[in-house]
Structure 1
Amino acid sequence: MTKNLISSASLEQDNLIAGGIMPIVTDIVTLKSGAAYLRGSVLAVITATSLAVKVDSTKSDGSQVAYAILAEDTDATSVNTPAVVYMTGEFNAAKLIFGGTDTITIHKKALRALSLFAKTLQG
């Protein structure tokens, strides 16, 4: 009997990454419990707890300042959860996710200062 050593997989492109000139650097943050976070979420860090949440310019606890972009969907509904984030790179502005009613217009300059470049893709 022969053993099947070949498996198949699929790769689904989400177009979050928008270029290859700027190197991508990753790190780990701990996401605050109470939510499921999606890849592409722009994160901020709450000063008092050092926990990451989606950036929201209406807050005043540190979470109003962009810090990183979430690299993969992460479920933190029940417990604070470590997650991989992008610290630098080029990203599709249309795929970035913000907290509250925030948009790329509010955070683009701050992201640029962090070497997180939000690009508008054509076509």
Structure 2
Amino acid sequence: MPAYESQPYDNLIAGYVVPLANVSVIVKSGSGVIKRGTVLGVVSQLPETNASHGMYIVATVDSSKTDDPQTPFAILSDQEVDATTKDVRATGYVSGEFNRNALIFGGTDKVEKHEVAMRNIGLITKRVVE
């Protein structure tokens, strides 16, 4: 079990009353390096084909930029994704309970700005004593 010894403590998940559910996404090129816990919004959706299955193209939620998504859709579940120069496949949580202090947004956005929208789609935020 040496692989588990090197894993850092994961403070993103705040409970299991609401089941965790993942979805495959494509992080849009130009998003840079994003980390686990980044809140993602939909930029567009690929057409439904055998290859794409209507996969969502996402980027970090940032209300200060008109070309970035404004509405939360998922929370990045991968440790780190580098979408600096190309689109990258990743996974995101679309339901579950999350530590509000571990969530990452773009620009100056804070969890308070998006908390209601997140709750409406099943991304429940909780205060966690660390």
Q: TM-score, normalised by structure 2?
A: 0.82
Q: State the alpha-carbon separation in 2 of the partners of residues 89 and 40 from structure 1.
A: 12
Structure 1 counterpart of 2:25, which letter?
V
Instruction: Please state how far the C-alpha of 1:45 moved relative to its aligned partner.
Output: 1.2
Confirm or deny that 1:119 pairs with 2:118.
no
Over residues 23-78 of structure 1, what are the superposed CA-to-partner deviations in whole Å (9 max), with x where a residue is unaligned? 00001110011201100000011148852111012344570011100001111122
Q: TM-score, normalised by structure 1?
A: 0.86
Percent identical pairs in the alignment equals 40
- Report the equivalent of 2:19: 23
Confirm or deny that 1:86 pairs with 2:93.
yes
Confirm or deny that 1:107 pairs with 2:114.
yes
Over aligned residue pairs, what C-alpha RMSD do you find? 1.8
Q: State the alpha-carbon separation in 2 of the partners of residues 40 and 83 from structure 1.
A: 13
Q: Which has the larger radius of gyration?
A: 1
Q: Secondary structure at the match of 1:33?
A: coil
Aligned residues: 117
- Report the equivalent of 2:105: 98
Structure 1 counterpart of 2:97, which letter?
E
As a proportion of its length, which structure holds more strand?
A: 2
Report matched runs for 1:60-75 at 5 Å: 60-61=66-67, 63-72=69-78, 73-75=80-82
- Residue 47 of structure 1 contacts residue 63 of structure 1 at CA under 8 Å; is this kept in 2? no
- Residue 53 of structure 1 contacts residue 63 of structure 1 at CA under 8 Å; is this kept in 2? yes
Structure 2 counterpart of 1:68, which letter?
A
Moved more, 35-44 or 60-69: 60-69
Instruction: Please state how far the C-alpha of 1:13 moved relative to its aligned partner.
Output: 1.4
Structure 2, unpaired ranges of 5+:
47-55
Q: State the alpha-carbon separation in 2 of the partners of residues 13 and 52 from structure 1.
A: 26
Structure 1, unpaired ranges of 5+:
1-6
Distance 1:36 1:26, change over 3 A: same
Q: State the alpha-carbon separation in 2 of the partners of residues 59 and 106 from structure 1.
A: 15
